[in-house]
């Protein structure tokens, strides 16, 4: 199994509070991704990173920011959480290289915004 | 953007039965992955299959990229096969940004 951990695994917070989710990998993979999973939508990409300090937006990036100061860590921040951001958040990693891009997923973080 | 459709949305199988899940996509892709999300929420990689056929135990997958579809075969199903099966495509025009289908919910009964 790919060495990916996410913390916290569960979090309950209140509307308007900032929240930071952490993804940590031990695989030294270049690419890291944040997805959210909601019923009926599969997974949708929020942001991704293609190297330290290099990030870009995904399909549902509004209300989220990310940072990557080290290869192994990718942080997702909700600056002011809203109830619509209640979801399960997954981090993924890939080694990339040419057209090969198999992504491996972490265990997920269940976030509830009250 | 690219559309990814999975069918059927739900599938109930008796243990030992065979089944086929389908994934259609609307545009050209660099690659395609199949995942199994188990009842505990974990996403497990099944196949990385941009084209051709692969087999892994009782599971196999075929992707026909020119016709924009992929099939996942489950043979001799077991209760541990229960969960949601997702296909995800990596579009040619947006490398790395996986686009997921809505999934097929599979329930295998004893």
Measured CA to CA, the distance from residue B77 to residue B15 in angstroms comes to: 5
Q: Does A95 touch chain B (CB under 8 A)?
A: no
Cα of B4 to nearest chain A Cα, Å = 10
The arrangement of secondary structure in A4-113, i.e. its CATH architecture, is Sandwich (2.60)
Contact between B53 and B65 (Cβ < 8 Å): no
* A67 vs B95, residue with greater confidence: A67
**B71 in contact with A, Cβ within 8 Å:** no
Test the A interface: residue of B96, B100, B101, B102 with most A CBs within 10 Å: B96
- What whole-number percentage of chain B has pLDDT above 90? 92
Q: How far apart are CA A47 and CA B75, in angstroms?
A: 37
pLDDT band at A97 (very low <50, low <70, confident <90, very high): low
Domain limits for position B59: 4-109
The answer to whether A100 contacts B31, with C-beta atoms less than 8 Å apart, is: yes
> Does A50 touch chain B if contact means CB atoms closer than 8 Å?
yes
d(CA A8, CA A25): 14
Cα of B34 to nearest chain A Cα, Å: 10
Q: Give me the residue from B30, B42, B45 closest to A101, CB to CB.
A: B30
Contact A57, A63 (CB under 8 A): no
Instruction: Write down the pLDDT at residue A1.
Output: 55
Average pLDDT over residues B49-65: 97
Q: What is the pLDDT of residues A29-88, one digit of tens each?
A: 999 999 999 987 789 999 999 999 999 999 999 999 999 999 999 999 999 999 999 999
Contact predicate B49/B63, CB 8 Å: yes
- Give the three-state DSSP class for B81: helix
CB spacing of A33 vs B50 below 8 angstroms: no
Rg of chain B's alpha carbons, rounded to an integer?
Answer: 13
What are A77's strand-pairing partners?
Answer: A20, A65
Task: Quote the number of domains for chain B.
Answer: 1
Percent of chain B with pLDDT over 70: 100
pLDDT attached to residue B33: 97
Q: Do A101 and B86 touch (CB under 8 A)?
A: no
Average pLDDT, integer, range A9-33: 97
Q: What is the pLDDT of residue A98?
A: 65
Helix, strand and coil content of chain B, in percent to the nearest 5, comes to 5, 60, 35
B79 band by pLDDT with thresholds 50, 70 and 90: very high
Contact criterion met (CB < 8 Å) for B96 and A94: yes
CATH code, domain with B49: 2.60.40.10
Collect all residues of chain B within an 8 Å Cβ-Cβ radius of residue A105. Answer: 35, 42-43, 45
pLDDT of B31 over the 60 cut: yes
Q: Confirm if A106 and A29 have CB atoms less than 8 A apart.
A: no
Is A59's Cβ below 8 Å from some Cβ in B?
A: yes
Does B33 contact A at CB distance below 8 Å? yes
What is the rounded average pLDDT for all residues in chain B?
95
What confidence score (pLDDT) does residue A28 get? 93
**Rounded Cα distance, B83 and B75, in Å:** 15
Q: What confidence score (pLDDT) does residue A78 get?
A: 97
Best CA proximity match to B48, nearest among A98, A100, A75, A29: A100
| CB-based contacts of A11, cutoff 8 Å, min separation 6 | A19, A21, A109, A110, A111, A112
């Amino acid at each position: 199994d790919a060495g990916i951990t996410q913390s916290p695994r569960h979090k309950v917070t209140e509307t308007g509070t900032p929240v930071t989710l952490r993804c940590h990998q031990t695989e030294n993979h270049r690419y890291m991704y944040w997805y959210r999973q909601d019923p009926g939508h599969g997974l949708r990409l929020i942001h991704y990173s293609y190297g330290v300090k290099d990030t870009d937006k995904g399909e549902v990036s509004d209300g989220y920011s990310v940072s990557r100061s080290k290869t192994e860590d990718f942080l997702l921040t909700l600056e002011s959480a809203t109830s619509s951001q209640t979801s399960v958040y997954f981090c993924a990693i890939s080694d990339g290289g040419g057209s090969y891009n198999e992504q491996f997923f972490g265990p997920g973080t269940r976030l509830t915004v009250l | 953007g690219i559309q990814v459709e999975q069918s059927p949305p739900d599938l109930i199988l008796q243990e030992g039965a065979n089944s086929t899940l389908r994934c259609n996509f609307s545009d050209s892709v660099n690659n395609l992955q199949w995942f199994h999300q188990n009842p505990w929420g974990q996403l497990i990689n099944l196949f990385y299959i941009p084209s051709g056929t692969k087999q892994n135990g009782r599971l196999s997958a075929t992707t026909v990229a020119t016709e924009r579809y992929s099939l996942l075969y489950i043979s001799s199903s077991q209760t541990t096969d229960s969960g949601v099966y997702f296909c995800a495509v990596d579009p040619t025009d947006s490398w790395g940004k996986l686009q997921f289908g809505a999934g097929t919910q599979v329930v295998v009964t004893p």
